A and B are shown apart, each in its own frame.
Chain A
Amino acid sequence: MTGTLTLRERQVALALAVLLAVLGLVMAGAARQGVMALHGVMAIALGLGLAFRIGGTLDDPAPPRDRLTRYDDGPTRFGIIMTLIWAIIGMGVGVWVAALLYWPEATPLVPWTSFGRLRPVHTTGIIFGFGGNALIATSFHVLQRTSRARLADSLSPWIVLLGFNLFCAWAVTGYLLGSTQSKEYAEAEWYADLWLVVIWVLYFVLYIRTLARRIEPHIYVANWYYMAFILVVAMLHIVNNLAMPVRWSAPESFPIWAGVQDAMVQWWYGHNAVAFFLTAGFLGMLYYFLPVRSGRPIWSYRLSIVSFWGIVFFYIWVGSHHLHYTALPFWAQTLGMTFSVMLLVPSWASAGNAIATLNGAWHKVRDDATLRFMFVAAVFYGLSTFEGSFLAIRPVNSLSHYTDWTVGHVHSGTLGWVAMIVFGAIYTLVPQLSGREHMVSPRAVEWHFWLAVTGTLVYVVALWNAGITQGLMWRAYDENGALSYSFLESVQAMAPYYLLRTIGGALFLTGAVICAWNCRATMRAAQGEATDRPLAVQPAE
């Protein structure tokens, strides 16, 4: 980690680490007890740990003179490791909560293992921990390779990654202890939110500075997507989390939004978290790794431009489709519905562009499990965006809303699309960054692929059935005009689907564990570093 830092950079890093420990001390001292104090202690631990680690290297030799003629891949490697760790945490807790729905009586009698606390650990662990680390790690790689330039400086990538992971760790430990803002996907409390803003601004600045050094005058579409991801997530995060802390020393706050405005802001955030966190960034990943792995040019340059602007423009409007048939005014629902339908075209254009790119490389798709991950990702991207637009139509939504169909839809996106493209990217990156031709075990990649596909299909099909069954049971009336089923009966009817869902999730988790093992083995058997070099002339040191 410190090997590529100059002495001066190491000194700055040391100072920042000490500053982090001091910040932790202030938090812990002000809060004295409870979640915020624990989070202070976590910051102290990270700060001191880093300080000792960096302090011990102050006398180490200076970095190799040619360091600037190489890409900066250390942060990417670290990001991939964190991605895999969070994958196992997030998916593990996911399987756990899935099992709790089937065996609710197996909930241990301690508060932190209750469903309500574990669920956000799963969602945050997966979206931010797994997805976020994967996005940051690959964005550094893609940014450097498509710009043919090294990252603008050596310190901020580490600050971004470490800071982001501290945010994730604060968030999930907070939920376990019962600290939450009660906003879905934005449960973390105000101080963690502020911290993330700082980290995110650093990330954006780093991105722009590096991009400014690019060789090719045009900016590759993958970078547009990554930039849209960084920029819009910042906007969403800030607006949705505007809140007044109860006290500066307490981990509680009042949101400034209230009533239906709060609901609208929350789902404007919530759906655009899907759009700009779980879609835009991952489209960037797809647009880079798919052509690289298949060795094919992007099928249509025009289509990628139109779909980029289409996706960015339409997505921002659709959040209100989460609030059909609620206190939200009808007109806002109509807008959410219609923009969701229009959104389908640019979404499918992206999926189609990706699949058409594979023309001329189908034999590779057949033989190469890594490329197959990306192909399946593109297919599921197409499927789940179609499903999303369909579910956003008001009358359809009256059947699907509040049912497990929604959960099935989300997982066809997250398992089938997001996780698959991440695995495709990881299997491309890890050997490359280890100076190897292949992963240590290509057979394990093949196993992972089939476990992931089977797991996703079992999960998604089970929850389609579950959701449609629920929706139909809830609205059924008998010949006497009375409800045909009680709610209880609809819950009992879910048992087989919840069991299947747990099994599907467990298969997917098994695949992820195999992946983590395979990556670890490959990184340990590294035969050097990535061999490609930047072209951009580096400013002299």
Chain B
Amino acid sequence: MPETTDPKQLPGADPHTGNRLIDPVSGYDTTGHDWGGITELNTAFPKIVIWALVLSFGYSVIAWILLPAWPYGGDYTRGLLKRDQQVQAAEGFRDLEAGRQDWMTRFASEDPAELQADAALMQTALPAARRLFDDNCAACHGAGGTGGPGFPVLADETWLWSSAPETLVEILRYGINSDHPDTFYGEMPAFDWMERSERAALSTFVVALQDGSADFDSDAGALFTENCASCHGDDGAGGLEVGAPALTDAAVIYGQDHATVMETLRHGRAGVMPSWEGRLSDAEITLLALYVAQLSEAAQP
């Protein structure tokens, strides 16, 4: 490479500026390099950049002195403030809990019925309960407990089990068909051993149950009494507290049209309601049970 392209090498050149081009706009000389027409100004290093560097380095050095920062050997510098993020997180949670202690603790110890009767307490608690529900339950049950295919409506007067707050607390704690040892257990068995024609007749019968036009004296009625009544009740109205829904009302979980009922009969059903023990505190579980009870009450005319 020819060295002569560097003006500093040119004979008689000033070692600092060379006899380099002066940029007419800024008045600065250029560095003398030329890359296919691109040149660079020999501008002095701006002071403000030095100050900015000093400032940002200063910030960092202070942070290193105060906070955990540099690793060495098997350890790291702890910092003068002795911060530990696990401890800080635990403290943060404790502070937040302390902020709701005065009303929240009552839900851990008192009787649900008594709590329900305390209007002032419920007024404080219900808005919190709604957000707790939206955060934990709405993904399945819908915001406001409106339900959806496979997930029962909670904002209505019908129940798979019971409307008693004590039962609701247990359902939340242990779940239904969940992996908790004390889980509620409610399974709709598969009737795949039946003739398809029998299932079709039963299905027509179940559809008719809903609008009250079902004939219990028919062959299908007999099949129902024989196979289904033990769980769904003699008249199909449920209420036996075994997790089997009433088939005579408007409320449905999966659907009470012919096709869906055929599906239910062929394969059976066992919806899973997770157990919340360990994931929510006792107080939160009681609070949610009362919220669900209130949703149901509010929905009734």
* Chain A interface (Cβ < 8 Å from any Cβ of B): 145-148, 214-218, 220, 288, 291-292, 296-304, 306, 325, 329-335, 337-339, 341-342, 344-345, 348-349, 352, 359-360, 477-478, 480-489, 532
Contacts and interface: CB of A to CB of B under 8 A. Distances in A.
Interface of B: 1-3, 5-6, 23, 25-26, 30-31, 33-46, 49, 52-53, 56-57, 59-60, 63-64, 67-71, 76-77, 79, 83-85, 89, 96-101, 103-104, 124-125, 127-128, 130-135, 138, 143
Nearest to A297: B39
Contacts of B79: 334
B70 A345 contact: no
Given A216-B33, A342-B60, A487-B134, A303 B46 contact: yes
16 contacts: A217-B3, A297-B38, A300-B43, A301-B42, A303-B43, A329-B68, A330-B85, A332-B71, A338-B69, A341-B56, A360-B23, A482-B132, A483-B128, A485-B131, A486-B132, A486-B138
Q: Which of A325, A333, A345, A348 has the most CB of B within 10 A?
A: A345
B100 A334 contact: no
B277 to A, nearest CB: 21
A422 to B, nearest CB: 19
Given A301-B31, A338-B60, A488 B45 contact: no
A304 to B, nearest CB: 7
Given A216-B34, A297-B39, A306 B49 contact: yes
A66 B240 CA distance: 96
Contact of B76 (A148, A291, A329, A360): A329
Nearest to B128: A482
Contacts of A339: 60
B236 to A, nearest CB: 34
A334 B63 contact: yes
Given A148-B36, A296-B25, A301-B43, A338 B128 contact: no
A337 B63 contact: yes
A290 to B, nearest CB: 10
Contact of A300 (B41, B100, B131, B138): B41
A308 B243 CA distance: 70
A360 B25 contact: yes
A338 B46 contact: no
B47 to A, nearest CB: 12
A331 B85 contact: no
Contacts of A532: 36
Given A334-B64, A359-B26, A292 B37 contact: yes
A478 B43 contact: no
Q: Which of B26, B30, B49, B84 has the most CB of A within 10 A?
A: B49
A242 B211 CA distance: 64
A296 B40 CA distance: 9
Nearest to B100: A481
Given A300-B46, A331-B70, 5 more contacts: A299-B26, A301-B41, A325-B89, A482-B132, A488-B134
A488 B140 CA distance: 13
A217 B5 CA distance: 8
A331 B103 contact: no
B49 A349 contact: yes
Given A297-B39, A300-B46, A480-B103, A341 B60 contact: yes
A393 B144 CA distance: 39
Q: Which of A148, A291, A337, A483 has the most CB of B within 10 A?
A: A483
Nearest to A536: B1
A486 B40 contact: no
A216 B35 contact: yes
Given A217-B6, A330-B85, A345-B56, A304 B40 contact: yes
A302 B1 contact: no
A486 B67 CA distance: 33
A359 to B, nearest CB: 7
A488 B100 contact: no
A360 B26 contact: yes
A300 B45 contact: yes
B63 A345 contact: no
B99 A297 contact: no
A505 to B, nearest CB: 28
A227 to B, nearest CB: 15
Contacts of A330: 67-68, 83-85
Nearest to A290: B38
Contact of B45 (A306, A345, A485): A306
A334 B49 contact: no
The 9 closest A-B pairs by CB, nearest first: A481-B99, A481-B100, A486-B134, A482-B128, A360-B25, A338-B60, A301-B40, A146-B35, A300-B43
A486 B35 contact: no
A324 to B, nearest CB: 9
Given A297-B30, A302-B45, A325-B85, A478 B52 contact: no
B33 A218 contact: yes
A302 B98 CA distance: 57
Nearest to B37: A292
A297 B128 CA distance: 64
Q: Which of B38, B45, B64 has the most CB of A within 10 A?
A: B38
